[in-house]
Structure 1
Amino acid sequence: MTQDTGMWLDGHLAPVPDEIEALDLPVTGALPPELSGRYFRNGPNPQPGRPSGHWFTGPGMIHGVRLRAGRAEWYRNRWVRTRELTEDAPYVRGDGTLDLTAVPANTHVVPHAGEILALVEAGLPHAVSPDLETLGPRDFGGRLTTAMTAHPKRDPATGELLFFGYGFLPPHLTYHRLAADGRLVESREIKVPAGTMMHDFAITENHVVWLDLPVVFDLDLAMGGTSMPYRWDDAYGARLGVMRRDAAGDVRWFDVDPCYVFHVGNAHEDAAGRIVLDAVRYSPGDFTTLWAMISGAADPAREAGLLDKASLHRWTLDPATGRAAEEPLDDRAVEFPTHDDARTGLPHRYLYTVSGNAIVKYDVRDGSSSAREFDGDVHVGEAVFVPAEGARAEDEGWLLSIVSGTSSADLVVLDATDVTRTVASVRLPRRVPAGFHGNWIPDS
Structure 2
Amino acid sequence: MTTMPFISDHYTPVAQEHTAHGLTVHGTIPPELTGRYFRNGHNPKPGVVPTHWFKGAGMVHGLRLRDGKAEWYRNRWVRTPALDGAPLQRPDGTIDLTASVAGTHVIEHAGRILALQEANLPFELTAELDTVGAHDFGGKLTTAMTAHPKEDPATGELHFFAYSPFPPHLVYYVADAAGEITRGEVVDGAGPSLMHDFAITENHVVWLDMSVVFDQAERSGIPYRWHDDYAPRIGVMPRTSGTGVTWYDVEPGALLHVANAYEDGTGRVHVEGPRFDRTAWETSWKWWTGAPGHPETPLAGAVHHRWTLEPGTRRAKEELLDGLPTDFPTINDAVLGRRNRYSYAVAFPGGGLHQHAVVKYDNTTGHRQLSELGAHRVPGEAVFVAAQDGTAEDDGYLLTIVNNTKDNTSEFVVLDAHDISAPPVATVELPHRVPGGIHGSWIADT
In the superposition, the TM-score normalised over structure 1's length comes to 0.96
Q: Does structure 1 residue 328 correspond to structure 2 residue 329?
A: no
Match of 1:137 among 134, 137, 141: 134
Partner of 1:214: 211
Q: Does structure 1 residue 235 correspond to structure 2 residue 235?
A: no
Asked whether the 8 Å contact 2:205–2:237 carries over to 1, the reply is yes
Asked whether the 8 Å contact 1:7–1:299 carries over to 2, the reply is no
Asked whether the 8 Å contact 2:120–2:145 carries over to 1, the reply is yes
- For structure 2, the residue ranges without an aligned partner over 5 or more in a row are 349-355
Match of 1:69 among 44, 67, 70: 67
Partner of 2:392: 393
Q: Which moved more, 1:106-115 or 1:355-364?
A: 355-364
Equivalent runs, 1:413-428 vs 2, <5 Å: 413-421=414-422, 422-428=424-430
Equivalent runs, 1:186-197 vs 2, <5 Å: 186-192=183-189, 194-197=191-194
Partner of 2:363: 364
In structure 2, how many angstroms separate the alpha carbons of the residues matched to 1:208 and 1:302?
35
In structure 2, how many angstroms separate the alpha carbons of the residues matched to 1:379 and 1:192?
41
Q: State the SS of the aligned residue for 1:320.
A: coil
The code of the aligned residue for 1:236 comes to Y
Q: Does structure 1 residue 178 correspond to structure 2 residue 175?
A: yes
Q: Does structure 1 residue 347 correspond to structure 2 residue 346?
A: no
Give CA-to-partner distance per residue, 1:286-306, whole Å, 9 cap, x none: 111211221111343523xx3
The code of the aligned residue for 2:410 comes to A
Asked whether the 8 Å contact 2:22–2:72 carries over to 1, the reply is yes
The code of the aligned residue for 2:270 comes to V
Match of 1:433 among 432, 435, 438: 435
In structure 2, how many angstroms separate the alpha carbons of the residues matched to 1:90 and 1:403?
33
- For structure 1, the residue ranges without an aligned partner over 5 or more in a row are none
Asked whether the 8 Å contact 2:25–2:70 carries over to 1, the reply is yes
What displacement does 1:390 show? 3.0
Question: Kindly tell me: are residues 73 and 148 of structure 1, through their superposed partners in 2, closer, same or farther at Cα, counting changes over 3 Å?
Answer: same
In structure 2, how many angstroms separate the alpha carbons of the residues matched to 1:153 and 1:415?
25
Match of 1:19 among 17, 20, 34: 17
What displacement does 1:388 show? 1.0
In structure 2, how many angstroms separate the alpha carbons of the residues matched to 1:423 and 1:51?
38
Q: State the SS of the aligned residue for 1:139.
A: coil
The code of the aligned residue for 1:415 comes to D
In structure 2, how many angstroms separate the alpha carbons of the residues matched to 1:101 and 1:197?
21
Q: State the SS of the aligned residue for 1:333.
A: strand
Asked whether the 8 Å contact 2:31–2:66 carries over to 1, the reply is yes
Equivalent runs, 1:3-402 vs 2, <5 Å: 4-86=2-84, 88-192=85-189, 194-221=191-218, 226-303=220-297, 306-356=298-348, 357-402=356-401
The code of the aligned residue for 2:236 comes to V
Partner of 2:413: 412
The code of the aligned residue for 1:200 comes to D
The code of the aligned residue for 2:266 comes to A
In structure 1, how many angstroms separate the alpha carbons of the residues matched to 2:28 and 2:270?
38
Question: Kindly tell me: are residues 68 and 227 of structure 1, through their superposed partners in 2, closer, same or farther at Cα, counting changes over 3 Å?
Answer: same
State, as a whole percentage, how many aligned pairs show the same letter. Answer: 51
Asked whether the 8 Å contact 2:18–2:74 carries over to 1, the reply is yes
In structure 2, how many angstroms separate the alpha carbons of the residues matched to 1:268 and 1:195?
26
Asked whether the 8 Å contact 1:140–1:184 carries over to 2, the reply is yes
What displacement does 1:334 show? 0.9
Asked whether the 8 Å contact 2:39–2:440 carries over to 1, the reply is yes
What displacement does 1:346 show? 0.6
What displacement does 1:193 show? 5.5
In structure 1, how many angstroms separate the alpha carbons of the residues matched to 2:305 and 2:231?
19
Question: Kindly tell me: are residues 307 and 193 of structure 1, through their superposed partners in 2, closer, same or farther at Cα, counting changes over 3 Å?
Answer: closer
Q: Which moved more, 1:111-120 or 1:211-220?
A: 211-220
What displacement does 1:33 show? 1.8
Q: State the SS of the aligned residue for 1:50.
A: coil
The code of the aligned residue for 1:289 comes to T
Give CA-to-partner distance per residue, 1:37-88, whole Å, 9 cap, x none: 01100000010122222111000000001111000111110000011114x3
Partner of 1:443: 445
What displacement does 1:248 show? 4.3
What displacement does 1:212 show? 0.1
Give CA-to-partner distance per residue, 1:191-234, whole Å, 9 cap, x none: 3454221100000000000000121111233xxx5311111111
In structure 1, how many angstroms separate the alpha carbons of the residues matched to 2:262 and 2:292?
38
In structure 2, how many angstroms separate the alpha carbons of the residues matched to 1:229 and 1:440?
32
What displacement does 1:376 show? 2.3
Asked whether the 8 Å contact 1:254–1:322 carries over to 2, the reply is yes
Give CA-to-partner distance per residue, 1:344-368, whole Å, 9 cap, x none: 1011110011113211111101111
In structure 2, how many angstroms separate the alpha carbons of the residues matched to 1:150 and 1:50?
23
In structure 2, how many angstroms separate the alpha carbons of the residues matched to 1:83 and 1:330?
42
The code of the aligned residue for 1:196 comes to S
The code of the aligned residue for 1:143 comes to K
Count of residues in correspondence between the two structures: 436
The code of the aligned residue for 2:325 comes to A
Asked whether the 8 Å contact 2:233–2:247 carries over to 1, the reply is yes
Q: State the SS of the aligned residue for 2:256.
A: coil
Partner of 1:403: 402
RMSD: 1.3
What displacement does 1:23 show? 0.9
Q: Which moved more, 1:142-151 or 1:46-55?
A: 46-55
